[in-house]
Amino acid sequence: MQRLSKSFLLTGALTLLLGTSCTKLDETLYSQIDAAKFYNNRQEILAGVLRPYTHANAWMAPTGQTGYWRLNEMSADQLAWPQKGRHGYDDAQWIRQHGHSWVYTENFVWDPWRLIYTGIGFCNSTLGDFERVDFTRAGVSDQEKAAFIAELKVFRAFHYLKLMDLYGNVPIVTKVGEPVSPPTAPRAEVFAFVEKELKDNVDLLPNLSKALIGRITKAAGYAMLAELYLNAEVWTGTAKWDECIAACDKISSGATGGLNGAPALDPNLTATYNNTNDNSKEALFQLTYDYQATPTRCGWSGDFYHFAQRLIYDGDANGNNGMVVIPTAYDAFKNNDLRKSTWMLIGTQYQLTAPTKPVEGTEEYRGKPLVFVNEIRRASENKTSSTMIDGEENSGARFNKYPPGRQSEAKYWSNDWIMYRLTDIYFYKAEALMRKNGGTAVPEALRLVNEVHSRAFKASDVAQETYTAATLTLPELLAERGREFIFEGKRRTDQIRFGTFTTASWWDHRPSDKTKALYPVPQRQLAANPNLKQNEGYPAK
């Protein structure tokens, strides 16, 4: 099996044609490679198919770049990057994210647009090349050719789904450089494009299997359809609950394959995220990493880890002491909720190689034990205010959902980053059923949510924590989604769908204008393309 972190890259230096002026117009252009001559065999064709995946690491997961993940989490009600003494102010960009006071000139508004459209460009480039390739001569069957093309189109549709989520109205481009200045398409039109691309191609994809880990398969495609339909009312004004349920049922039935046999919930809270999570039965689509075979790993350490965090794991990476769980989000977990103690770090931190020896602080608590606390305030100065500028090095519970393991472990930091899992499908269907029923949980919705919820408690606590039709309300479903999917890049989208993103207060955040449900079209794009239209509430130029 070949994991995508070792995928083929289109290599070879492209020589830029330089020299003195010449009136002869039939020079050999060494700056171009004819696609028909490059794609000579299946391996070279597969290299083209896999190229967008190598770029996806930049925008789909918390890898240190400002991609989709950061915009969808740092503006929501669970995570923040507060200033901690002399660290973390960073031109107040994290403060503006938390307070919904961003402007259209921000780099963090521009970066996801740039990164996601670059991924679309890779898809479009390969699809364009394939129009000139003789697949039969390259030893590729018609069925496999159709699957390769479908894979690229479905992956491209996924890029547009995420663009539509962040920015709403965006240009649709399916060919490299055509048109030069593409016009803005209304969000409903983008939705229709994504829906058609998914529906036309999803059944041409192969079923998910271990051999296709990290690839777009039927399981990933139907998960995308389910997410699309779950958000249809927000994105188009028309609800599509039945379509969402049908897409979920396709996956749950096993008809789209599974990573390790039929899809099933993993038996505990760690199997889906640890460094052997390629053995998960729950994962439906993931970014794959093999740190032992390549220099690439999912670099969440930069966003989440303390300056001395490597000692907690017996690892090799510290971080920027950045993102933390905000107090109101941490308090949303009951004390007997195993997710609270498993997926987050709190309290005194000890060195894994010397379990009785505390990790020491490096800033306010230099030379003293590092004790992560829920509150965000200048306790070392006896101050009581708690805002985005009042943090210390130990402020906030910390990320522990993807433990990397020890350096000595065979699969150290080879955790795959999960984009869709069966739990998504359970919650998508449960919500669609509830919304069809006026917000009241029907028995099937209760079964789906409780099956997931039961993993979060000891056997002796499950009965008292089981949801009923009276307790599983829509607000509670939003709260439970927050607990179950914390750190997974879904929160802003959830809050918008449940109507709390611009209307609710949390920790150091107050309600914002309704226009903040969309990010602005970046100023750099407006300057470069006169055919773009700005979103409501932001400057046009």
Q: What is the tens place of the pLDDT at every residue in 390-402?
A: 999 999 999 999 9
Asked if 31 and 66 count as a contact pair (C-beta separation under 8 A), the reply is no
Based on the domain organization, do 155 and 261 belong to the same domain?
no
Among 33-37, 162-166, 347-351, the range scoring the smallest mean pLDDT is 33-37
Looking at the predicted structure, is the pLDDT value of residue 441 above 80? Answer: yes
177: left (phi over 0), alpha (psi -120 to 50) or beta: left
Based on the domain organization, do 385 and 307 belong to the same domain?
yes
Looking at the predicted structure, is the pLDDT value of residue 17 above 80? Answer: no
Could you tell me if residue 533 is inside a domain?
no
Looking at the predicted structure, is the pLDDT value of residue 412 above 80? Answer: yes
Helix (H, G, I), strand (E, B) or coil at 516: helix
Could you tell me if residue 501 is inside a domain?
no
Q: What pLDDT sits at residue 34?
A: 63
Based on the domain organization, do 311 and 431 belong to the same domain?
no
Q: Give the up-direction half-sphere exposure of residue 472: CA atoms within 13 A in the CB hemisphere.
A: 26
Based on the domain organization, do 238 and 128 belong to the same domain?
no
Asked if 278 and 288 count as a contact pair (C-beta separation under 8 A), the reply is yes
Q: Give the up-direction half-sphere exposure of residue 425: CA atoms within 13 A in the CB hemisphere.
A: 27
Task: For the chain, give the number of residues.
Answer: 541
Based on the domain organization, do 112 and 187 belong to the same domain?
yes
Give the residue from 456, 479, 496 where a domain finishes. 496
Could you tell me if residue 502 is inside a domain?
no
Looking at the predicted structure, is the pLDDT value of residue 219 above 60? Answer: yes
Q: What pLDDT sits at residue 38?
A: 81
Based on the domain organization, do 241 and 186 belong to the same domain?
no
CATH code at position 225: 1.25.40.10
Based on the domain organization, do 129 and 192 belong to the same domain?
yes
Among 8-12, 89-93, 379-383, 444-448, the range scoring the smallest mean pLDDT is 8-12
Q: What pLDDT digit, counting tens, does each position of 138-160 carry? A: 999 999 999 999 999 999 999 99
Q: What pLDDT sits at residue 37?
A: 72
Mean pLDDT of the chain: 93
Give the residue from 204, 231, 247 where a domain finishes. 204
Q: What pLDDT sits at residue 14?
A: 27
Q: What pLDDT digit, counting tens, does each position of 55-109 carry? A: 999 999 999 899 999 999 999 999 999 999 999 999 999 999 999 999 999 999 9
Based on the domain organization, do 367 and 271 belong to the same domain?
no
Looking at the predicted structure, is the pLDDT value of residue 9 above 90? Answer: no
Sorting pLDDT into bands at 50, 70 and 90, what band is 10? Answer: very low
CATH code at position 131: 1.25.40.390
- Residue 231 β-bridge partners: none
Q: What pLDDT digit, counting tens, does each position of 495-509 carry? A: 999 999 999 999 999
Could you tell me if residue 15 is inside a domain?
no
Based on the domain organization, do 311 and 260 belong to the same domain?
no
Give the residue from 204, 229, 248 where a domain finishes. 204
Q: What pLDDT sits at residue 432?
A: 99
Average pLDDT on 362-386 reads: 97
Q: b/e per residue, 312-345, with b = 16+ CB within 10 A?
A: bbbbebbbbbbbbbbbebbebbeeebbbbeebbb
Q: What pLDDT sits at residue 297?
A: 95
Based on the domain organization, do 154 and 85 belong to the same domain?
yes
Q: Max CA-CA distance within the chain?
A: 85
Could you tell me if residue 538 is inside a domain?
no
Looking at the predicted structure, is the pLDDT value of residue 7 above 50? Answer: no
Based on the domain organization, do 267 and 341 belong to the same domain?
no
- Residue 80 β-bridge partners: 324
Among 32-46, 58-72, 237-251, 374-388, the range scoring the smallest mean pLDDT is 32-46
Looking at the predicted structure, is the pLDDT value of residue 15 above 90? Answer: no
Based on the domain organization, do 266 and 157 belong to the same domain?
no
Residues 212, 320: Cα–Cα separation, whole Å: 34
Q: What pLDDT sits at residue 35?
A: 64
Angle subtended by helix axes 422-436 and 241-252, to nearest 10: 150
What residues make up the domain containing 432?
220-288+416-496
Beta-strand pair 347-348/283-287: unpaired
Q: What pLDDT digit, counting tens, does each position of 255-286 carry? A: 999 999 999 999 999 999 999 999 999 999 99
Could you tell me if residue 232 is inside a domain?
yes
Share above pLDDT 70 across residues of the chain, in percent, rounded to a whole number: 93
Could you tell me if residue 342 is inside a domain?
yes
Could you tell me if residue 87 is inside a domain?
yes
Alpha-carbon torsion angle 446, 452, 456, 461, nearest 10: 40
Please report, for residues 78, 306, 513, the alpha-carbon distance to residue 491 in angstroms, rounded to integers and kept in the order given: 8, 23, 18
Q: How many domains does the chain have?
A: 3
Sorting pLDDT into bands at 50, 70 and 90, what band is 22? Answer: very low
Beta-strand pair 79-80/324-325: antiparallel
